[in-house]
Amino acid sequence: MAFSKDINELVTEDTTGLLNKHESWERVTLQDVVEVVNGYAFSSSGFNTGKGLPLIRIRDIVSGKTDTTYEGDYSKDYIVNSGDLLVGMDGDFHSAFWRSGIALLNQRVCKLTANENFYNQKFLAYLLPGYLGAINQSTSAVTVKHLSSKTIQSIPLPLPTRKEQDRLVEKLEELFSEFDNGIEELKAAQTKLSQYRQSLLKSAVEGSLTERWRAENRAQVQETGEQLLARILKQRREQWQQQKLAEFAEKGKTPPKNWQDAYPEPVQPDTTDLPKLPEGWVWASVDQLALNKRYGSSSKTNDDSSGVPVLRMGNIQDGKLDYSNLKYLPVDHKEFPDLLLNNGDLLFNRTNSAELVGKSAVYRDIGKPVSYASYLISVTFTEHFLPEIAAHYINSVLGKKWLAEVMNQTAGQANVNGTKLGELAIPLPPFAEQLALIQGITNEFDSIDRQIEATALGLKQSEAQRKNILKSAFSGQLVSQDPNDEPASVLLEKIKREREALAKKPKTKQIKTKSAMKKITIEELAKWVGNYKGNSFTFDELQTAFQGDYDQLKDCVFEILSAKKPLFKQVFDQKLNTITFIKEDK
């Protein structure tokens, strides 16, 4: 959904101090001093990695760099240069200066250029995150939050004198220079710790972490991984036979001839291109080691904490389960106890972005029933295999390579189903070595976690200090007001006069190019919806019907959704894995 509140209310309701202004300052609407250019919906058929110009997408704003390039026609209106200020219009509404040279402005990213006669571009960049954050907090969403250029243009910016803006920027840059160096060092430390975690995972699942243990305990190992797998498979078959015999007995039937031949053999692991394992280890498929695999519940959850907690994909963080931000189902829910987790169940995130799909963690009993949502798969393993080994393997570079090879991608979402998970080959060490491996990596991870917590605390304290400095700046306390400056009220009057003069000038005729776009209006969209014969439609259908500016189309959709009596509502279709719009009854 889009922001639908009166934006001036955000200023009066603000408790952060980041929307403050000094009493001698004025306020000016952003569009009066800043040009806002929306990105263009470049055809994905022109996307590549190396040919044409770099293409800036939402995910590239914070990093300031992109790996995507676009080869095809474009208008110079969508050219971005280093130092241009960009805003992401979906998700968290990030803003940042572009740092990687000439590039193209893609859809759902906009470029802001201040009129330097009236407003300092760097001062705008310091101010903007506070306002975007407030807008984000007040924006509701079914899935992803959306920001319109109309909302950006209506931001009521504080207007100090023009010279005071320059003094504030100079002081802020001076204070943040050393400050930002310290933050970069903390972030670099976090990156190194993350890399060390990955190297530990790789060494664990490839066997080098327990190399010394094997040398010292070779004589004590009674059963190799290969022998253990044979025993697991034998027990698996015997358990199936016992279950089938019990079913025949319950129905009063005599087992038919050759009934044992119906046994469903587990998938054999495909070891092509897999690394050689240490002596005594063997590759096994998840299917061979699993007792069962189950998809989670798609039932609607609630916030009633007296119910059963439901783990979702966001609760899997860095290979562990985070029990904050939980949803719940009633204790007497119809899918219980079938969808309650067992101690030691592996949780696998089957649907997410390509970067996050497949993240895994092991559930350990917390003393009360816990369930899980539909985008997760639970795997209950045989007691002769420690599930943490599977989780570590999937979360390692080896597991990520496998995920990249098997995932299906549609509409920005990636999926790895239960069948593919069952085919995954994972290493099976002797059981005694499994215990030693998990103990060793747990000790190392505990040390890494303590260091990560320390760096996170340092970053949190730095961020709080940064906000205090910005609050001081925006309230007029960081630099003194100079009585010799031209007053802000005079500056505001100049801005108004220029806007009035520009409004009187005849508009220059736009020369149409190959990439010129048709203007889309709410009236046209409403008419299309009224004439549409079906009851539901997707955004792709709208884009096909309206061959124009992607952002104009999205802004029109959000305007209709935000109306008191909207023509349609927005829902997430789990089967299609996309947003669907459903027409409201008149």
- The reported pLDDT for the residue numbered 516 is 45
* The two structure tokens encoding residue 119: 């407003």
Please indicate, yes or no, whether residues 129 and 249 belong to a single structural domain of this protein.
Answer: no
State pLDDT tens for residues 376-403: 999 999 999 999 999 999 999 999 999 9
Higher model confidence: residue 127 or residue 533? 127
Binned at pLDDT 50, 70 and 90, residue 553 comes out as: confident
State pLDDT tens for residues 149-205: 999 999 999 999 999 999 999 999 999 988 888 889 999 999 999 999 999 999 999
* The two structure tokens encoding residue 578: 């996309």
Please indicate, yes or no, whether residues 127 and 235 belong to a single structural domain of this protein.
Answer: no
Q: In total, how many domains does the chain have?
A: 3
- The reported pLDDT for the residue numbered 545 is 79
3-class state of residue 487 by DSSP = coil
Please indicate, yes or no, whether residues 109 and 22 belong to a single structural domain of this protein.
Answer: yes
Lowest mean pLDDT among 2-6, 41-45, 137-141, 514-518: 514-518
State which residues form the domain around 529.
Answer: 522-583
Range 202-219 average pLDDT: 95
* The two structure tokens encoding residue 71: 């080869």
Last residue of a domain, one of 504, 534, 562: 504
Strands 308-311, 568-573: pairing is unpaired
Rounded distance, CA 157 to CA 442, Å?
Answer: 51
Concatenating the DSSP letter of every residue in 497-519 gives HHHHHHHHSPPPPPPP-TT--B-
- CA-based end-to-end distance of the chain: 21
- The reported pLDDT for the residue numbered 288 is 98
Please indicate, yes or no, whether residues 499 and 527 belong to a single structural domain of this protein.
Answer: no
* The two structure tokens encoding residue 62: 């914070």
**In sequence order, which residues have a C-beta less than 8 Å from that of residue 175 and are 6 or more positions away?**
469
Backbone angles phi, psi at 8, to 5 degrees: -70, -25
Q: What is the mean pLDDT of the chain?
A: 91
Please indicate, yes or no, whether residues 250 and 318 belong to a single structural domain of this protein.
Answer: yes
Please indicate, yes or no, whether residues 286 and 137 belong to a single structural domain of this protein.
Answer: no
Please indicate, yes or no, whether residues 421 and 562 belong to a single structural domain of this protein.
Answer: no
- pTM value? 0.66
CA distances to 44, 304, 361, 526 from 310, rounded to whole Å, are 37, 11, 15, 39
Residue 281 pLDDT > 80: yes
Please indicate, yes or no, whether residues 125 and 242 belong to a single structural domain of this protein.
Answer: no
> What are residue 316's DSSP bridge partners?
321
Please indicate, yes or no, whether residues 498 and 534 belong to a single structural domain of this protein.
Answer: no
Binned at pLDDT 50, 70 and 90, residue 142 comes out as: low
Listed ranges 101-105, 281-285, 505-509; the one with the highest mean pLDDT: 281-285
Rounded distance, CA 96 to CA 84, Å?
Answer: 8
Please indicate, yes or no, whether residues 153 and 244 belong to a single structural domain of this protein.
Answer: no
Sheet holding 95-97, edge to edge: 34-38, 109-114, 85-88, 95-97
Residue 1 pLDDT > 60: no
**Position 345: which residue type?**
D
**Position 196: which residue type?**
Y
State pLDDT tens for residues 508-540: 554 444 344 456 788 888 888 888 888 888 877
Rounded distance, CA 516 to CA 524, Å?
Answer: 19
Rounded distance, CA 350 to CA 216, Å?
Answer: 40
Q: Has residue 573 been placed in a domain?
A: yes
Please count the residues of the chain: 586
Last residue of a domain, one of 457, 474, 504: 504
* The two structure tokens encoding residue 561: 């959704």
- B/e letters for 338-364, b = 16+ CB within 10 Å, e = fewer, are ebebeebbbbbbbbbeeeebbbbbbbe
- B/e letters for 451-481, b = 16+ CB within 10 Å, e = fewer, are ebeebeebbeeeeeebeebbbbbbbbebbeb
Q: Has residue 396 been placed in a domain?
A: yes
Rounded distance, CA 495 to CA 313, Å?
Answer: 49
Cβ contacts of 397-400, under 8 Å, gap ≥ 24: 397/198, 397/201, 397/202, 398/202, 398/205, 398/206, 398/275, 399/358, 399/360, 399/424, 400/358
